[in-house]
A and B are shown apart, each in its own frame.
Chain A
């Protein structure tokens, strides 16, 4: 379905390795995916699976060890200096902790104007107008709150200000790293709706990184599931949630808690904990916790294979509807 569309972001065999020699940790161990223009790709996984590192490597906040990241057909992996900074204006990242993402001693208007001032794309009056417009759009009244300090705001409001700042340079791609996980449900709903509105208004493409499966389902067109530095399954969110093909996806969905007393009590619970990325299991990285693992899983590393149009899974024995 999306074959004719050109991906806005093309990631191939991305790896990020921290440390050297025996202490080397592959936080991201060969990840490939595309994000098409105008879509939202959800990236889920447990802590330590490398989802945040993937997001940071796309922005080159951490340097990828190998692999390529192409933005709109241009390889940015080896860009440096001004060219890299220029590329970064087209992709912006919002972080988990909204309060520590903002300088508590700066005023809201100054924070949002920072990217504009750094690039000097607009001047004086235009800049002030743009800042007020952005603040209005994220639901912060610039007349009342524009000159307050960042420390005077609640978590939800700080997240709104972070979003306004990220949008100042009109990026094409917004990387949202656990942007709602620190917020209360009612505020979380406000921010999720705001992201949907802004996405429509600015024609944004989103990479939405989160651990909460319900949140990801609500916002994403497609979802990728990561485990220990690798993508286990990627597909349209409806398909992936209704008919997960990878055993890990199935367990993850089974463990997620639905706010419904009639929902099935969590059935099969995944035993154990993710192994250390310092010493990942041979073959399939999930095999040490997988009840279906066989000898082949220990020997041979599964690669992402298409099981249905747009639905890929990296498993030797995927669940496929007959």
Chain B
């Protein structure tokens, strides 16, 4: 396997609020290799977006405490000044946000928004930047890029806007793209187009991609590895097939079972996870999933489990009463 592009060690992001500290990310460690797609899945409030923003060094400095270490291509992100981060943004790491309309400036022509990055970060002159911007727009599949260069974001559809955002992110050839719910809110046919685009760009430019989503369908065929988050912690991680078919953590199973499938017969009763995710501002001892878990024992409510290795390399889970190690595919 290729070298480590990203090393996250015991990362904690805590928000200080009037009602107390909220540990949105509570001790997360993982690695990312070059030219890999890592999927991070979890429900809303599981900390996946906060994790992404922390890796990007986008957390505000006031009322947020970040500890641990994020090594991005050898550079430390935690505690880095904004000036240091600026040298990394766009060239080392870039982010694609969920809502393309709010990540673009509505009163600025889309070409200018791509130009800006090129001119500020790479010091290109106007003409070179323009030529490169048009090249990027073509690369992300925007038809008649030459004329669309002068379009405003409102003149484009949601799918096209997301392509522009991806073009902006690609402008300075970053080694890592963090895509936070890049296709949520897009139609299925457009979603497929955008995911295919990300996939082909990843190969073409030999980047790595972190794909953050709540939809297991998005990562199933795209990600090489998957991290499942719950209440700010990694509860299971491993190769995509291990997580889908040999998961040990009951939460992963519950998440898979509760998503409706196209192959289900009509009126199939879905497995539900009772209750709701915990409130992070009132920390409970033990496993965060225990109150909703069907397998929880006394120990689960008292002592928090840590990640332990499963039999497959790289497959880890945090659970005191893991599901038996069988091939789920065969069992069904």
Contact of A253 with B44 in the complex, beta carbons under 8 Å: no
Q: Which of B211-226 contact A (CB under 8 A)?
A: 214-218, 220-221
Q: Is A103 an interface residue (CB 8 A)?
A: no
Given contacts A184-B43, A193-B272, A269-B196, contact A259 B261 (CB under 8 A): yes
* Cβ contact within 8 Å between A186 and B255: yes
Q: Let me know if B193 is at the binding interface, CB within 8 A.
A: yes
Of the candidates A190, A238, A252, the one whose C-beta lies within 8 Å of that of B272 is: A190
Bound CA span A47–B270, Å: 26
Q: Which residue of B lies closest to A199 (CB)?
A: B267
Asked if residues A255 and B189 are in contact (CB atoms below 8 Å), the reply is yes
B275 closest partner in A (C-beta): A186
Query: What 1/0 mask marks residues of chain A from 226 to 258 whose CB sits below 8 Å from any chain B CB?
Result: 000000000001100100000000011111111
Q: Does B107 contact A (CB under 8 A)?
A: no
- Answer yes or no: A50 CB below 8 A from chain B CBs: no
A169 at the binding interface (Cβ < 8 Å): no
> A259 with B265: in contact, given A186-B272, A215-B260 (CB under 8 Å)?
no
Q: How far is the CA of A263 from the CA of B219 in the complex (A)?
A: 12
Contacts A185-B43, A252-B188, A259-B216 hold; do A265 and B260 have CB atoms under 8 A apart?
Answer: no
Q: Given the known inter-chain contacts A184-B44, A257-B218, A270-B189, please indicate yes or no for A218 contacting B258, CB distance below 8 A.
A: no
When distances are taken between beta carbons in the complex, the residues of chain A under 8 Å from B202 are none
Contact across chains for B258 and A259 when beta carbons are under 8 A apart: no
- Indicate if A192 sits at the interface (CB-CB under 8 A): yes
Q: Is the CB of B44 within 8 A of A256?
A: no
- A291 and B185 CA atoms in complex are apart in Å by 26
Chain B residues with CB under 8 Å of A32's CB are: none
Is B269 touching A217 in the complex (CB atoms < 8 A)? Answer: no
If the complex has contacts A185-B255, A214-B262, are A258 and B220 also in contact, measured as CB distance less than 8 A? yes
Q: What residues of chain B lie closer than 8 Å to A220, measured between beta carbons?
A: 266
B153 contacts A by Cβ under 8 Å: no
Contact B255 A263 (CB under 8 A): no
B19, chain A: closest CB distance, angstroms: 15
Check if B192 sits within 8 Å of A269, measured CB to CB: yes
Partner of A259, one of B188, B217, B241, B271: B217
Distance from A181 Cβ to chain B, minimum over Cβ atoms (Å): 9
- Nearest Cβ on chain A to B272's Cβ, whole angstroms: 5
Query: Given A184-B44, A238-B266, are A258 and B187 also a contact pair (CB < 8 Å)?
Result: no
Residue of B nearest to A194 (CB): B272
Instruction: Report how far A260 CA is from B276 CA in the complex, Å.
Output: 25
Asked whether A217 lies within 8 Å of B264 as measured between CB atoms, the reply is yes
Chain B residues with CB under 8 Å of A241's CB are 262
- A188, A219, A253: the one within 8 Å of B266 (CB): A219
State whether the Cβ of B191 lies closer than 8 Å to any Cβ in chain A. Answer: yes
The answer to whether A70 has its CB under 8 Å from any CB of chain B is no
Give B217-253 as 1s and 0s: 1 = Cβ < 8 Å from A's Cβ atoms. Answer: 1101100000000000000000011001100000000
A251 to B258: give the CA distance in the assembly, Å.
25
**A37 an interface residue at 8 Å Cβ cutoff?**
no
Q: Are A261 and B221 in contact (CB under 8 A)?
A: yes
Cβ-based interface call for B254 (8 A): yes
Q: Is the CB of A196 closer than 8 A to any CB of chain B?
A: yes
A187 to B256, CA, bound (A): 13
**B260 near A192: Cβ-Cβ < 8 Å:** yes
The answer for the CA separation of A220 and B220 in the assembled complex, in Å, is: 25
In the bound complex, what is the Cα–Cα distance between A51 and B189 (angstroms)?
A: 17
> Is B157 in the interface zone, CB < 8 Å from A?
yes
- For residue A143, CB closer than 8 A to chain B, the reply is no
- Let me know if B259 and A259 touch, CB within 8 A: yes
Taking the complex as formed, is B47 at the interface, i.e. its CB lies under 8 A from any CB of chain A?
no
CB within 8 Å for A196 and B269 given contacts A241-B262, A259-B259, A273-B190: yes
Say whether A294 faces chain B, with CB atoms less than 8 Å apart.
Answer: no
What 10 A-B pairs are tightest by C-beta distance, nearest first? Answer: A257-B217, A259-B216, A189-B258, A46-B187, A189-B270, A255-B192, A218-B260, A184-B43, A186-B273, A214-B260
Give me 20 other A-B pairs in contact (C-beta within 8 A), A189-B260, A269-B189 excluded.
A40-B266, A154-B276, A185-B214, A185-B216, A186-B43, A186-B273, A189-B259, A211-B187, A212-B260, A214-B259, A214-B260, A218-B260, A218-B268, A238-B266, A259-B217, A259-B261, A260-B261, A269-B196, A270-B193, A271-B193
What are 29 sample pairs from A and B whose C-beta atoms fall under 8 A apart? Answer: A40-B266, A46-B187, A156-B276, A184-B44, A185-B214, A185-B216, A185-B258, A186-B254, A189-B270, A193-B270, A211-B187, A212-B188, A212-B260, A214-B261, A214-B262, A218-B268, A221-B267, A237-B266, A238-B266, A257-B221, A259-B216, A259-B220, A259-B244, A260-B220, A260-B244, A261-B240, A266-B192, A269-B196, A270-B193
